[in-house]
């Protein structure tokens, strides 16, 4: 069975915004470029990547080819990569160069070794309410995530979350399914059309204590 890929929110990607811990997203994928930063440390070709640390750089790429955008150089009439923010690592120079290595294999934007997951196409907010303690936690989650994956996010707030039954509108949720598949509908678009604040209508997931099987 193939391992299910992980989804990330834009906020999670944005948290990795330093040269020592650098992520970017593009065309729906999330990449950890920290090893690339370490490999080319001090190289000026890292500057465009560092400028967009923690951000989405989909505008750099052609969604059909998943390669860097290209254009025809009006002076040479040759096809070149379009890099308005400056040439970056693995992009070839404009002309022949004897100091540019071509034996690096796949460029980083096609190298699966840097991929850590997918960027959520739509995030949503939920309220997780512990009915035993009345504690409430707002969580931003990915619409593609199952309840089991959302539980993993919630563990930082309640390490015993697996000892609870998760319900919505009195119905036990299927932890192997997403919120939408559990009929926890996403009404953000309708609320915006009605000019209502979505924060005032955040769905509440209720946690009912079973038995603390995680203790000990």
Contact (CB, 8 A) for 160 and 173? no
CA distance 163 to 159: 9
From the DSSP assignment, how many helices (H) and strands (E) are in the chain?
5, 14
Q: Hey, what domains does the chain have and what are their CATH numbers?
A: 7-119 (3.10.120.10), 123-209 (3.10.20.90)
The Cβ-side half-sphere exposure at 26, using a 13 Å CA radius, reads 26
Contact (CB, 8 A) for 54 and 43? no
Backbone φ and ψ of 174, nearest 5°: -85, 110
Contact (CB, 8 A) for 14 and 24? no
H helix intervals, the chain: 10-14, 34-39, 47-51, 147-154, 188-193
Question: Considering the entire predicted model, what is its pTM?
Answer: 0.87
Contact (CB, 8 A) for 118 and 30? yes
Residue 213, pLDDT score? 46
Contact (CB, 8 A) for 177 and 145? no
Residue 99, pLDDT score? 62
Contact (CB, 8 A) for 166 and 207? yes
* Radius of gyration of the chain measured on its C-alpha atoms: 22
Residue 103, pLDDT score? 66
For 162-189, b where at least 16 C-beta lie within 10 A, e where not — what string? bbbebbbeeeebeeeebbeebebebbee
H helix intervals, 22-75: 34-39, 47-51
Query: Which of the 8 DSSP states describes residue 56?
Result: B
Q: What are the pLDDT tens digits along the chain (216 aa)? A: 557 899 999 999 999 999 999 999 999 999 999 999 999 999 999 999 999 999 999 999 999 999 999 999 888 778 889 999 999 999 988 766 656 666 678 999 999 999 999 999 999 999 999 999 999 999 999 999 999 999 999 999 999 999 999 999 999 999 999 999 999 988 767 767 767 667 777 899 999 998 654 444
């Amino acid at each position: 069975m193939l391992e299910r890929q992980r989804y990330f929110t834009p906020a999670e990607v944005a948290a990795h915004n330093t040269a020592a811990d650098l992520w970017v997203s593009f065309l729906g994928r999330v990449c950890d470029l920290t090893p690339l930063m370490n490999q080319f440390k001090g190289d000026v070709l890292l500057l465009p990547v560092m400028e967009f640390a923690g951000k989405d750089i989909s505008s750099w790429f052609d969604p059909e080819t998943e390669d860097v955008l290209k254009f025809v150089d009006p002076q040479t009439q040759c096809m070149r990569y379009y890099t308005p923010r400056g040439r970056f690592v693995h992009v070839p120079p404009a002309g022949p160069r004897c100091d540019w290595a071509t034996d690096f294999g796949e460029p980083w934007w096609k190298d699966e070794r840097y991929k850590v997951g997918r960027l959520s196409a739509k995030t949503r907010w939920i309220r997780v309410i512990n009915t035993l303690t009345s504690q409430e936690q707002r969580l931003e989650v990915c619409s593609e995530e199952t309840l089991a994956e959302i539980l993993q996010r919630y563990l930082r707030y309640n390490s015993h979350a697996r000892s609870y039954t998760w319900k919505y509108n009195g119905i036990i949720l299927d932890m192997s399914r997403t919120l939408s598949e559990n009929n926890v509908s996403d009404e953000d678009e309708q609320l915006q059309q009605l000019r209502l604040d979505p924060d005032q209508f955040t769905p509440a997931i209720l946690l009912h204590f079973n038995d603390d099987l995680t203790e000990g």
